[in-house]
Amino acid sequence: MHLAKPSWLAHLDDKGQRTSIFSIHVHPDGSRIATGGLDNKIKLWSTIPIIDGSKARDPNVPTLLCTLGLHNGSVLCVRWSNRDGRYLASGSDDQLLLIWEWDKSTEAWAGQSIFGSGEQNLENWKPVRRLTGHQSDVVDLAWSRDNTYLASCGLDNLVFIWDGRKFEKLHKLDAHQGFVKGVTWDPVGEYLATESDDKTVKVWRTSDWKVQAEISDPYTSSPTTTFYRRLSWSPDGSHVATANGAQGPVPIAAIFNRGDWKPDVSLVGHDSAIEVVSFNPVIFMIPESDDADPDSASVGSVCAVGSQDHSISVWVTRNARPLFVCQKPFDHSVLDLAWSPDGTHLYACSYDGTVVVLQFLNNEFGTRLSMEEHDKILAKYGFVPKDPIILENTTQLDMEGTLAITNKTSSSGRIAALMSGNQELPPPPAVIITEMEKVNYGPPSSAPSQMITENSNGIKSSSVSGQAIVTIQQKPSVSGGPVPMDVENAIASGSSGSINTQTQQTITLTKDGKKRIQPQFLRGLTSSPSTPLRPPMPVPMPMPTDNVSAPAINGNLSNTSVFSQSQQQSVSLDKASNLDAPSRALPAGGIPAILIGNKRKESFASEIAAQSNKRQSFSKSRADSVIETEGYPLRSGLVPPSVTMSQVRLASHKVKDYLAKDRLDGTTLKLECFNNNVKGPSQISCTRGKVVVWIDYVPSSIILLTGHSQYSAVACEDGSLFIYSSAGRRLLPVIMLESAASFLEICREYLLCITQTGLIYIWDLRNLKAIVSSVSTAPILQAATLSSDDFHSTVSIISACVRPNGIPLLVTSLNEAWSYHLDMKTWVRVYDPRYSTLDPSNSETSEVIGGSILASLESMARQRGGNIGSLAYLRHSGGKDTQGKAHVIGHLENQLVSSEMVNSPTEYKRLLFAYAQQLADEGAEFRLHELCMELLGPVNGQETFISNDQTRSNWDPFIMGMSKRQLLKEILPILASNRALQRHVTEYGDSLKKILKID
């Protein structure tokens, strides 16, 4: 054994003094090590000059390869992923985990100097994910043997399990009652072991994440002064070595067996508490003695122990005495140990800021077993090695190369998102306040001060009460063309997007007349959210709909529109597109409703008459709970008999003396209604500035109005409905509904109306036909769960709109989103909040990103809380759990068809890529065939692998304006990521090439 202690390997503070090194780990190829220190930095070092001291003086041999400095606290743990070492995980006392990846591309900035020092980065390691969830220091990390999972533990008494590929939070283990200071994986993948200051070691089953065993005997008298309790699982899977054990006053490293989980070996000899133990990753054939017959050697493991007595010992598990002892190579406690992949070098770091490497001869421990022999030993515990898949053709290799290039391209912009602390949530929408809203929503003294600047692109940057919001207002185009790409990018990225907007600074004057400018914190150059490795997608322009001001609550604007991002941003774009943004006409808290349920009691037949009398005598109105949006209420609206006899009863609107809707065309077009307090007609007027465009009178009092530049509609309290063209021409005679309207909205040529009896109507005003007629909302208001013997306050409709394809989208107070399938004639749930998570960092960004419909629904549900997240663990279950895999695929399939239902092409494309990746990961051949056949369609003149009964006769080559075959072309490289599917993928790829060539 030889010892090396490089003096040049150090973490230095601002004064050039050594700081503590808390963690050390060796890359799987043995060429580099990573260290984390008190200076908040991670440093990557070459192992060549460490092992060979003479190389350290060679200027052509690098020592420091890279310095990573995005943590805001001490780096307490660094761990490379196994096998290829693609990722480096780091944990810090800033409560964050960062995942780093080496960018080997030619455009990488390797070779640039590190800010504030003379060091240079020779390798470019980029942060690819930022994982949040811990509420205190993250002190230890561990990758599973096949990199399926990443486990983290911390001083918040919690253990988190993360997906090793997508880095989603899968599980939270909270059974410990003290700081969790160590974590290790079973090499078979069946268990996870953790050690805590509650003086227990817990073994968790990975099948259901329940506690398999709890060991406490060797730790009852152990001190709690250790910084770590880093434990280790033996490479043969049979033992677990633990730190900080004690037999009375004697410190020990306790080792317990797999299966009975009882400590049967204690490593005794250190004078102070043990901080860390680490098994050599290699299994050896160890002889009985140096002179023994080599054929008598038996299988054994080698374990290293680091203690607070500044010493390191190396043990063979079957011997009672240490094989080697390195007495006090440090001046302080040993904090971490790491073996090289070949088992010949042991690296150790200390609180004194130094690193020591112990070099062993090749046969010093015995004869190393091969990887095949290693796998055979693990097979007795159920380990099944994965056989390598042989490449069968060059097409597969080309697809793998295409996927790698696409993944590299799609990861751009991730560094800026991590530096700014941005999460997957879309940025908050901009709020545009009209002059009338300024009057109605509170006195001038309560309004925040606002400063606005505008650049040449027509982008206004507003500073309101110290917070910057950006509203995109494109100047009118002469040709009426599309919005420029720079404006579109600004919409997609929010106030910190790709357009550099100027922020107004606060200037004050001192008594002597000097100006003082208050400095502002700059979060970063951009704030594009961190995204997984997926092909980039073009962001389509949001579909604008109607916009009505929301009610005021204590002087604040309340927005209940489901389109919290893309369509709210279109409010400021309606000037350019001549279309309108979504309605905000719903009162805060939604439309209150009561209904009689469908669930019958056993004695229902004998109570029909009594319930009928109760229905007839019930005429209570919930109008008092509706918050006025404009005007002064004159009286409550009339309640027709149809409402008193209806199963569903929505709130009625009060009659107000004045109603108005501004900016029907995005500029000056305005619709106003004037109701009389006495009997007489109500006036409707449409004006453009001071010019009256048209005027009309209706015989009943008006309770709702909506419109845009092409159509307008008003609803009266007697149930009548009037529809007008842009010139004020009545398109139809008066429409008489069974009851008055509770909600009214126009999107393009579609008019949505929800009546007080809970019936929904959608009309196509351009073709004058009904899309949805007299469809009850009772199914989405949980009528089937309520008994029919009384009236019940049920869920409210908090948001309603009609999509540009003419289908309704309703959101209830349970945060569920419902749409009506026009062909199936039934309600379908397009969003279920039970599968969402409260933690934005745990959002499935591989599924839904940005300000599209499903993302907005999830963002709104996360903000509202309620019944969110009760089933979220199902869509994150994975690994070897068959049930979990089925839930993941099922959830993706549900999201995929939902995005098609609500006409969200951007989300559909992203979800399709995520679905294809999941199919590839699971090797789901039958689902792959169905997906590819649906996208490929019929093959002209060929019946090779697609039969007529498998392909719909009415196959449409497009979906939401996107070519299905082009989508198939883009997902084939993703499906090819699993070589076990290469024959199927190649077959579909060849057929696609023939079809495209013919076309």
pLDDT in tens, 149-170: 999 999 999 999 999 988 989 9
Residue that wins the pLDDT comparison between 744 and 543: 744
Nearest Cα to 537, choosing from 894, 842, 908, 840? Answer: 908
- Provide the pLDDT confidence category of residue 996 given band limits of 50, 70 and 90: confident
Task: Give 293-325 pLDDT, tens digit per residue.
Answer: 556 678 889 999 999 999 999 998 777 789 899
User: Tokens representing 607?
Assistant: 């109570």
Q: What is the pLDDT of residue 232?
A: 96
- Provide the pLDDT confidence category of residue 452 given band limits of 50, 70 and 90: very low
Neighbours of 257 (CB within 10 A): 13
Neighbours of 127 (CB within 10 A): 20
Burial of 189 (0-12, 13-18, 19+ CB in 10 A): buried
Kindly tell me if the per-residue pLDDT of 287 is higher than 80.
no
**Mean pLDDT across 556-585:** 37
- Provide the pLDDT confidence category of residue 264 given band limits of 50, 70 and 90: confident
Nearest Cα to 731, choosing from 721, 741, 717, 739? Answer: 721
The C-alpha atoms of residue 299 and residue 576 are separated, in whole angstroms, by 76
The C-alpha atoms of residue 460 and residue 564 are separated, in whole angstroms, by 20
Kindly tell me if the per-residue pLDDT of 463 is higher than 80.
no
Residue that wins the pLDDT comparison between 571 and 70: 70
**Mean pLDDT across 162-189:** 93
User: Identity (one letter) of the amino acid at 919?
Assistant: L
**Mean pLDDT across 71-90:** 94
Asked if 372 and 378 count as a contact pair (C-beta separation under 8 A), the reply is no
Q: What is the pLDDT of residue 841?
A: 54
Kindly tell me if the per-residue pLDDT of 612 is higher than 50.
no
Kindly tell me if the per-residue pLDDT of 557 is higher than 60.
no
User: Tokens representing 480?
Assistant: 């009426």
Q: What is the pLDDT of residue 954?
A: 79
**Mean pLDDT across 259-267:** 88
- Provide the pLDDT confidence category of residue 861 given band limits of 50, 70 and 90: confident
Q: What is the pLDDT of residue 472?
A: 30
Q: What is the pLDDT of residue 728?
A: 93
Nearest Cα to 850, choosing from 568, 583, 576, 578? Answer: 568
Nearest Cα to 242, choosing from 260, 261, 259? Answer: 261
Kindly tell me if the per-residue pLDDT of 97 is higher than 90.
yes
User: Tokens representing 214?
Assistant: 């709890």
Q: What is the pLDDT of residue 858?
A: 84
Transcribe 849-896 into DSSP letters: -SSSHHHHHHHHHHHH-SSTTTTHHHHT--TT-HHHHHHHHHHHHHHH
**Mean pLDDT across 857-882:** 70
User: Tokens representing 178?
Assistant: 């003290």
- Any idea what the Cα angle at residue 728 is, between residues 723 and 731, rounded to 5°? 40
Nearest Cα to 272, choosing from 210, 198, 351? Answer: 351
Strand partners, 314: 304, 324
The C-alpha atoms of residue 322 and residue 274 are separated, in whole angstroms, by 15
Neighbours of 373 (CB within 10 A): 12
Q: What is the pLDDT of residue 490?
A: 34
Kindly tell me if the per-residue pLDDT of 328 is higher than 70.
yes
Q: What is the pLDDT of residue 102?
A: 87
Q: What is the pLDDT of residue 581?
A: 42
Element (H, E) at 982: helix 982-998
- Helices 964-975, 925-936: axis angle to 10 degrees equals 150
Nearest Cα to 627, choosing from 685, 559, 553, 727? Answer: 553
**Mean pLDDT across 32-49:** 95
The C-alpha atoms of residue 512 and residue 36 are separated, in whole angstroms, by 50
Q: Rounded to an integer, what is the distance from CA 42 to the centroid of its chain? A: 26
Nearest Cα to 242, choosing from 224, 216, 221, 260? Answer: 216
Kindly tell me if the per-residue pLDDT of 711 is higher than 90.
yes
* Core vs surface per residue 26-46: b (16+ CB within 10 A) or e: bbbebebbbbbbbbbbbbbbb
- Provide the pLDDT confidence category of residue 558 given band limits of 50, 70 and 90: very low
The C-alpha atoms of residue 297 and residue 282 are separated, in whole angstroms, by 15
Burial of 960 (0-12, 13-18, 19+ CB in 10 A): middle
Asked if 491 and 499 count as a contact pair (C-beta separation under 8 A), the reply is no
Asked if 144 and 113 count as a contact pair (C-beta separation under 8 A), the reply is no
Tell me phi and psi for residue 530, to 5 degrees. -70, 130
The C-alpha atoms of residue 85 and residue 29 are separated, in whole angstroms, by 8
Task: Give 331-385 pLDDT, tens digit per residue.
Answer: 999 999 999 999 999 999 999 999 999 999 877 888 888 888 888 888 888 777 7
Choice among 164-178, 551-565, 682-696, 949-963 with the minimum mean pLDDT = 551-565
Asked if 717 and 701 count as a contact pair (C-beta separation under 8 A), the reply is yes
Task: Give 571-583 pLDDT, tens digit per residue.
Answer: 333 333 333 444 4
Provide the CB-side half-sphere exposure for 526 (13 A, CA).
17
Tell me the three state secondary structure of residue 270: coil
Asked if 21 and 37 count as a contact pair (C-beta separation under 8 A), the reply is yes
Neighbours of 479 (CB within 10 A): 5
Burial of 831 (0-12, 13-18, 19+ CB in 10 A): buried
Torsion angle in degrees (nearest 10) through CA of 607, 608, 609, 610: 50
The structural domains of the chain, ordered by start, are: 20-94+96-132 (2.130.10.10), 644-831 (2.130.10.10), 861-939+954-996 (no CATH)
- Provide the pLDDT confidence category of residue 586 given band limits of 50, 70 and 90: low
Task: Give 621-637 pLDDT, tens digit per residue.
Answer: 333 333 333 566 666 66
Helix residue spans in 368-457 (DSSP H) = 371-379, 394-410, 414-419, 435-440
What length does the chain have?
A: 999
The C-alpha atoms of residue 490 and residue 470 are separated, in whole angstroms, by 9
Q: Is the backbone of residue 431 left (phi > 0), alpha (psi -120 to 50) or beta?
A: beta
Helix residue spans in 18-86 (DSSP H) = 48-51
Tell me the three state secondary structure of residue 57: helix
Q: Report the percent of the chain where pLDDT is more than 70.
A: 67
Residue that wins the pLDDT comparison between 947 and 652: 652
- Provide the pLDDT confidence category of residue 489 given band limits of 50, 70 and 90: very low
Residue that wins the pLDDT comparison between 804 and 179: 179
Asked if 362 and 343 count as a contact pair (C-beta separation under 8 A), the reply is no
**Mean pLDDT across 418-442:** 36
Q: Report the percent of the chain where pLDDT is more than 90.
A: 41
Kindly tell me if the per-residue pLDDT of 802 is higher than 80.
yes
Mean pLDDT over all residues of the chain?
Answer: 76
Compute and round to an integer the Cα radius of gyration of the chain: 34
Asked if 8 and 63 count as a contact pair (C-beta separation under 8 A), the reply is yes
The C-alpha atoms of residue 375 and residue 372 are separated, in whole angstroms, by 5
User: Tokens representing 227?
Assistant: 């910084």
The C-alpha atoms of residue 125 and residue 372 are separated, in whole angstroms, by 33
Kindly tell me if the per-residue pLDDT of 262 is higher than 50.
yes
The C-alpha atoms of residue 716 and residue 851 are separated, in whole angstroms, by 35
Helix residue spans in 603-670 (DSSP H) = 608-617, 641-644
Element (H, E) at 593: strand 593-595
Kindly tell me if the per-residue pLDDT of 537 is higher than 60.
no
- Provide the pLDDT confidence category of residue 194 given band limits of 50, 70 and 90: very high
The C-alpha atoms of residue 861 and residue 829 are separated, in whole angstroms, by 14
Please give the model's pTM, rounded to 2 decimal places.
0.58
Choice among 250-259, 531-540, 551-560 with the minimum mean pLDDT = 551-560
**Mean pLDDT across 441-454:** 37
Task: Give 112-148 pLDDT, tens digit per residue.
Answer: 555 555 677 888 899 999 999 999 999 999 999 999 9
- Provide the pLDDT confidence category of residue 21 given band limits of 50, 70 and 90: very high
Asked if 711 and 765 count as a contact pair (C-beta separation under 8 A), the reply is yes
Kindly tell me if the per-residue pLDDT of 655 is higher than 60.
yes
**Mean pLDDT across 829-855:** 67
Provide the CB-side half-sphere exposure for 76 (13 A, CA).
26
